[in-house]
Structure 1
């Protein structure tokens, strides 16, 4: 019998507990699962046991357990390279972007992947378009999930031509320098969660949704109480919506929206209803954070229905990058389905942040009157779309990306 490889730690007892829970008096502790995932990210689990762990968590539905999700996020966050949060908070405050009920903090829009239909990488484009008005901290993340692995932000931005951003220069040590000049930043997974390189090949090999598709999206290098203000998270399976919004609440998030689009999308559906779970702080500032469920439709943004095949994914990162630049440079008409799809997502981020509650215009030259009409969840969705459209048409979104490229190459 071969000797065990000394590089690896055995988790056989935990695997037995997960495989045969009826043989054990107590349920598997969330801390044990979080500890095992930490071993995987530290490259201390052999591939066989790592694959068994991820498979069992999926098929036993432990990857939908809020207590497990929260414990894993907390444990993994503590083991990753630390950002200088105090410096980030000061810089964010100094930028002075507060407006309406938006306090000027960092915002993010992300998805958990697993879409039944491949669509363009909308979160990257929406993040850049929103960045003239919001501080954006887009966390680079590898979905590596079935049935449709997609092009990730970490692949798209380096494919920008002629001058891409230098993502390797964006690290926990340099991110504060980025935010001194730029209101947009992509925080690459390789620098902020380097241990994921040990998990991603196994996830791809399994070809099933794993717990990393949820906790990887919830993880963020900047904590909720250290500068992060608002988050939009998409999930393709609406059954996971309640678990995700509760996890965000338990993690201390004050403003969040979880969305699940018609047709198994981890995005806002352009052709049908989208189930939404919103987490918001009451205006009085003293009442508990509230969760509200509702549905959104393209008409709530003042948009027509757009078939999914009109916003399908490009075949590779360079093509996605070209589409992104064409949009930002005004080469795509306003009624282009991809433009409308992206603007809708930027609008959602604006509403979630609270900036749509501002009663006065003034962000852009020739700014039109605020649209005060409210829709589902009491949100000003049409105002969000108006702001998104102005960020794009004014050229400020393009300038925001250009600033990020320049800063990243100068660090």
Structure 2
């Protein structure tokens, strides 16, 4: 109910064609680097149009808005600016306070609390571009199932709600991840997926730690440019693969991983970042 109200009150971004949103509810205290943001560029490089919807850090050091700003993206765009990014760069970022004006006043309170609030959970359900395809990361297994059922009621075409091993709000490399699939109004299946099931190696959680904005910006660049070929690249491939499956571009996660790898190795993922920077700043 509350999500539907927030969707109504949001400023809408009009884009002709299917878009996917990738985000997490945060609040997992895992302090990983910006995995879903990096994966968004990889998914865009593989052909998806990604409408990312996010905010500054609430419970981590560096949120999606912080890292994108650090990379040079103009994050405070209006609906028209975001639509231009979606059209010309294949990826756009909607800075939550600009799109949910009613939520502005909650921001300082959320930072004060610093832990998961109803707003963290509502955020992913209220994409202003009305994304019908979604990957939603959730730090609690019980909440993952509830959110899968909520998405099924919000006219989602295809979504994956993921709960990472060890209570992380994205797919991880340390063990088996729980995934609920949402398709056209129902939740047809749930599955467990470990990295080795899709051709990736296991890695401990510590290998995926992020740092401050400058550190995470350097990491995103290193992964997208193909310099970083370790577990951090692997976890991005896994999460990009989930987006490619949810966006109906890949038939399964193993194929999605291969497509994600090709997106980076061909230079297309990095090119999406450069396009987004240029278009967001009005230089393209």
TM (normalized to structure 2)? 0.94
Superposition RMSD in Å? 1.7
After superposition, residues 52-63 of structure 1 pair within 5 angstroms as none
Unmatched segments (≥5 aa) in structure 2: none
Q: Which residue of 1 aligns with 2:159?
A: 256
Alignment of 1:279-318 (within 5 A): 279-281=182-184, 289-314=186-211, 316-318=212-214
- In 1, Cα distance between equivalents of 2:200 and 2:6: 40
User: Can you list the C-alpha shifts for 1:367-411, whole angstroms capped at 9, x where unaligned?
Assistant: xxxxxxxxxxxxx22111000000000000111111111111117
Higher CA-based Rg: 1
Structure 1: give runs of 5+ residues left out of the alignment.
Answer: 1-70, 93-104, 282-287, 358-379
Q: 1:328 aligns with which of 224, 228, 235?
A: 224
Partner of 1:209 in structure 2? Answer: 116
Higher RCO by CA contacts (8 Å cutoff, separation 6 or greater): 2
How far apart, CA to CA, are the structure 1 residues paired with 2:133 and 2:62?
A: 24
1:207 Cα deviation (Å)? 3.9
Aligned to 1:119: 32
CA distance in 2, matches of 1:330, 1:78: 41
1:77 and 1:381 map into 2 onto residues whose CA distance is 30
Mapped contact 1:116–1:263 kept (Cα < 8 A): no
Structure 1 consecutive aligned stretches of length 4 or more whose deviation exceeds 3 Å: none
Distance 1:167 1:142 in 2: 10
Q: Where does residue 134 of structure 1 map in the other structure?
A: 48
Shift of 1:337: 1.0
Aligned length: 282
- Once the two structures are TM-superposed, the CA of residue 290 in structure 1 deviates from its matched residue by 4.0
Whole-angstrom CA distance in 2 between matches of 1:300 and 1:125:
22
Q: Does structure 2 retain, via aligned residues, the 8 Å contact 1:112–1:143? A: no
Change (3 A) 1:109 1:179: closer
User: 1-side partners of 2:29 and 2:276: how far apart?
Assistant: 32
Counterpart Cα distance in 1 of 2:55 and 2:209: 20
Deviation at 1:119, TM superposition (A): 0.8
